[in-house]
């Protein structure tokens, strides 16, 4: 008889599984904000550069996707690159990985025994991130408070690429713009004055 008592996360609303980033999270790893279109572009760069050799294969565990992201991160530049270059950098990183796979003896403990296994998992991870971005962009009211057209990503380009494969998606629901001189009480603590929220 099973003693497994962990609650099935699909029995709760999806929004309960989303965690809010704190100011500490953001200061530990500096972020930049990019559009959903940019996120989809990076996902598409990997999808265009890989194939799925095992239809129906499920995404890897979170820890394994993190490792997958790290494998690619090591082969990408740190400095941010223009979106027009992303496909080239994705292909270069994959080419380096494939060459390494062909020249280095793979241990029995390695999770990926062949290039096809590794390529399949990269393809599935990119597809999963693409679907997640599309999900947040659509803003399904059954599961989300709002749609998200903006996403926070690491400022380091290689870490951004890694986050796509590890599935670290950070939707930004609102970014507001305010004029400092119009802020209530900014002049001598008294003016300007506004009607309070009701």
Residue ranges of domains in the chain: 29-175
Please report which confidence band the pLDDT of residue 198 belongs to, taking 50, 70 and 90 as the band edges: confident
In degrees, rounded to 5, the angle at the alpha carbon of residue 128 between the alpha carbons of residues 127 and 132 is: 115
- Residue 55 token pair: 């239809």
- Measured from the Cβ of residue 40, the count of other Cβ atoms closer than 10 Å reads 16
What torsion do the CA atoms of 56, 57, 58, 59 make, to the nearest 10 degrees? -130
At the topology level, CATH places domain 29-175 in Zinc Finger, Delta Prime; domain 3 (1.20.272)
Q: Alpha-carbon distance 111 to 118, whole Å?
A: 9
Total residues belonging to the chain: 198
Give the tens place of pLDDT for each residue, 120-157. Answer: 999 999 999 999 999 999 998 888 888 999 999 999 99
Share of the chain above pLDDT 90, in %: 56
Q: What percent of the chain has a predicted confidence (pLDDT) above 70?
A: 90
Span 69-105, pLDDT tens digits: 999 999 999 999 999 999 999 999 999 999 886 665 5
């Amino acid at each position: 008889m099973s003693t497994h008592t962990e609650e099935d996360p699909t029995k709760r609303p999806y929004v309960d599984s989303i965690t809010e980033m704190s100011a500490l999270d953001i200061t530990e790893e500096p972020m930049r904000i990019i559009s959903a279109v940019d996120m989809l572009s990076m996902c598409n760069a990997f999808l265009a550069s890989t194939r799925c050799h095992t239809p129906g294969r499920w995404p890897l565990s979170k820890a394994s996707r993190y490792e997958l992201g790290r494998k690619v991160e090591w082969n990408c530049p740190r400095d941010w690159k223009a979106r027009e270059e992303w496909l080239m950098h994705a292909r270069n990183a994959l080419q380096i990985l494939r060459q390494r796979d062909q020249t280095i003896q793979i241990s029995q403990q390695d999770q990926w025994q062949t290039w096809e296994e590794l390529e399949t998992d990269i393809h599935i991870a990119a597809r999963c991130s693409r679907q997640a971005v599309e999900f947040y962009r659509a803003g399904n009211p059954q599961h989300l408070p709002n749609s998200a057209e903006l996403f926070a990503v690491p400022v380091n380009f290689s870490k951004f690429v890694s986050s796509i494969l590890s599935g670290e998606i950070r939707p930004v629901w609102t970014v507001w713009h305010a004029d400092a001189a119009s802020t209530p009480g900014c002049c001598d603590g008294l003016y300007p004055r506004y009607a309070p929220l009701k």
